[in-house]
Amino acid sequence: MKLRFEHDFQQKIMQQVFEEPFILDSGQAVQKWRTSWMQELKSWHSPYKLIVDCSKLTVVPSPETSDALARMIRFFEGLFLKSIIGFGFDATKGHDHLGFRVVSTFEEAQKEAGVRGLRSATAPADFRESIQFQNHFAQHVIEMSFSDDAVIDSLEKINAVKSKLTNNLMQWHSKWSLLIDCSRLNFDPKLASDWAKLEAYFKGFFMKAVVGYSPLEAGRENYPFKTYRARHAAVAQLENEGHFMGNEAQCRTKSKD
C-alpha cells in the first residue's frame, strides 16, 4: 500500500491519497490502512477533518471488511477525527461500502468538509509538493529537504516555502532553527533579497538561525545562507535550547522575549 498524506494545520484538514491501486478485501487490509494513518497522527494535537482520494481504492464487500472499516472509523473518531469525506466515487469499486460518504470531485469534497482554497494532494508534483519537513522537536530544529531536484528562482517559489513552512509551524510552540538539505536544491542569487525578507518574517515566529548542508558545488556561492559540506557540521552550529520538547508550550520563555 502506497498512501500519501498532506496536512493543512491551519484549516485543520488531513488529505490521504492512495497513489497505487489498493484493495480492501479483509480485516488485514483495513489494518494496513489503519496503521499508516495512525503514524501520521503524531503530527496532530487537535481535531481535524479528513479528505480521502478513493480513485485507486477498491472495496470487496464482506462482513469482515465492513466491520473492520466501521471499527477503524470509530477508533479515529476517538482520536480527534471530526469527519471524513472521500472523492473519486465509483460504484463498481465498492465505494458504497466504505462506511463514509464518497463524492465525485475534490471540489465537492472540500464543500462537504466545509473548507475552501485547499490544494488537492492529487495534483501533479511541483515545487511546493517537493518540499518536505522533519520536525526534530527535542533539538529545536525543522529540517527542510526536497523530494525532487528543485531550484528557487522566483518569488512564487519563495512564497511556496513561506506558506508550507508557516503551515508546519502550527505544531511548534518554542524557538527553532531551520536546517536545509541542499543536495537537490539550486538557488538563483537574484532572489537573495527576497529570501532575506523570508528570514525576517520567520524571525518574528521564533526562528533563531538558518543553515544548509550538502550544497551543490556548481552553485555553492549562490545560497543566501551559510552552508556546510556535511550535515553533522551544520547541526553543530545549531544551539540546543534545553531538555524540553519543541512541541510543548514554553509560555514563560516567550513572555521574557
Cβ within 8 Å of residue 68, ≥6 positions away = 26, 27, 30, 31
Phi, psi dihedrals of residue 74, rounded to the nearest 5°? -60, -40
The answer to whether 224 and 187 have CB atoms below 8 angstroms apart is yes
pTM: 0.60
Query: What proportion of the chain, given as a percentage, has pLDDT over 70?
Result: 89
Separation CA 104–CA 89 (nearest Å)? 5
3-class state of residue 26 by DSSP = coil
The answer to whether 152 and 194 have CB atoms below 8 angstroms apart is no
Digit-coded pLDDT (tens) for 75-125: 999 998 999 999 999 999 999 999 999 999 999 999 999 987 776 665 545
Neighbours of 232 (CB within 10 A): 9
Torsion from C-alpha of 49, 115, 136, 230, nearest 10 degrees = 130
- Provide the CA 85 distance to its chain's centre, in angstroms: 19
Q: Mean pLDDT of all residues in the chain?
A: 87
User: What domains appear along the chain, each with residue ranges and CATH number?
Assistant: 3-113 (3.30.750.24), 127-256 (3.30.750.24)
The more confident residue out of 12 and 219 is: 12
